[in-house]
Amino acid sequence: MKFEKEFVVGRPLKDVARDLDDDRTFAALFPETRVTKKAEHVRETFTPFRALGQSREIRFVFETLPGGNVRFDKICDGNVWRSLKGEVRLEEQDPARTRVVLCMEGRTRRFVPEITIGIPMREQIDQMARALRTRLKGT
């Protein structure tokens, strides 16, 4: 299952890339998220949530690539996802505008029908796109 969202920011690509590679941007993707650095341009996020009466954490690893794009993977240690990965791609439209493309692709574990996770995954990518748009639009 794959989802994609895109929007245009009225700022130069290098400025958008700089703001994308910031702990505050990754923390803003999900409510109550905290960020730890694993390496210079690699971060892990921890987001608490409750499911079936239990407290758990969703964990993602984000890697900022040369040129400003970001690749990410969900650490799939639960019962739903076999894999969930994605990327934030920056494309220069002209010197003053940048297209931001957010893609996510996931595969569920055996016996978890993808149709059951489609709506929550769509809501998640919408939430991430709103947070990115807010953080990257600038002042």
Domain holding 60, by residue range, is: 2-136
Quickly list H helices, the chain: 13-20, 23-27, 114-136
Residue pLDDT, tens place only, 3-27: 999 999 999 999 999 999 999 999 9
The pLDDT-based confidence of 138 (bands split at 50, 70, 90) is low
Tokens of 136: 């990257």
Tokens of 52: 């079936």
CATH of the domain at 79: 3.30.530.20
How many separate domains does the chain show?
Answer: 1
Separation CA 110–CA 66 (nearest Å)? 36
Query: pTM for this one?
Result: 0.89
